[in-house]
């Protein structure tokens, strides 16, 4: 599953309602996310620009878009932002791929080191899977 971070700012009306009747907004949105095939991993209430931060797993970008739309449709947030996150493994793979691109640029096909570089690239690609 893919990781996403959703950040939201409440409307003044929503914040006023929460002050009058405190409730856990994460528990209120959890069923909607689960109905869409997403799973909340962590939620918190940061200081600053956003009032709510949720990190969740979803099968794909379309599901993440649906999550954002479902939350927006409830009318409780004035702004929301979804960010695709890389897992640790995805981050490492991206670093390895960048190294391969750098190696390819460093050696041209006319360079005697090119053949050796190609073999190294093949080996590194095989490690990535």
What is the end-to-end Cα distance of the chain in Å, rounded? 18
List Cβ neighbours of 12 (8 Å cut-off, separation of 6 or more): 78
pLDDT of residue 95: 87
**12-66: per-residue pLDDT in tens?**
999 999 999 999 999 988 998 999 999 999 999 999 999 999 999 999 999 999 9
Strand partners, 85: 3
Mean of pLDDT values over 70-99: 90
Provide, rounded to the nearest whole percent, the portion of the chain with pLDDT above 90: 64
List Cβ neighbours of 14 (8 Å cut-off, separation of 6 or more): 75, 76, 77
Query: How far apart are alpha carbons 67 and 55 in whole angstroms?
Result: 12
* Contact between residue 45 and residue 22 where contact means Cβ atoms under 8 Å apart: no
Provide, rounded to the nearest whole percent, the portion of the chain with pLDDT above 70: 76
Angle in degrees, CA 48, 51, 53, rounded to 5: 105
Token pair of 17 as six digits: 């309602």
pTM above 0.75, yes or no: no
Query: How far apart are alpha carbons 126 and 51 in whole angstroms?
Result: 44
Strand partners, 9: 79
């Amino acid at each position: 599953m893919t990781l996403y971070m959703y950040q939201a700012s409440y409307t003044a009306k929503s914040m006023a309602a929460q002050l009058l009747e405190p409730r856990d907004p994460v528990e209120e949105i959890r069923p909607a996310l689960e109905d869409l095939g997403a799973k909340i991993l962590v939620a918190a209430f940061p200081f600053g620009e956003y009032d709510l931060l949720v990190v969740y797993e979803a099968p794909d970008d379309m599901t993440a878009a649906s999550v954002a739309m479902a939350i927006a449709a409830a009318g409780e947030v004035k702004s929301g932002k979804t960010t695709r996150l890389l897992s640790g493994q995805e981050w490492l793979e991206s670093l390895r791929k960048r190294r391969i691109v750098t190696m390819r640029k460093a050696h041209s096909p006319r360079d005697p080191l090119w053949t050796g570089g190609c073999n190294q690239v093949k080996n590194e690609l095989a490690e990535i899977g």
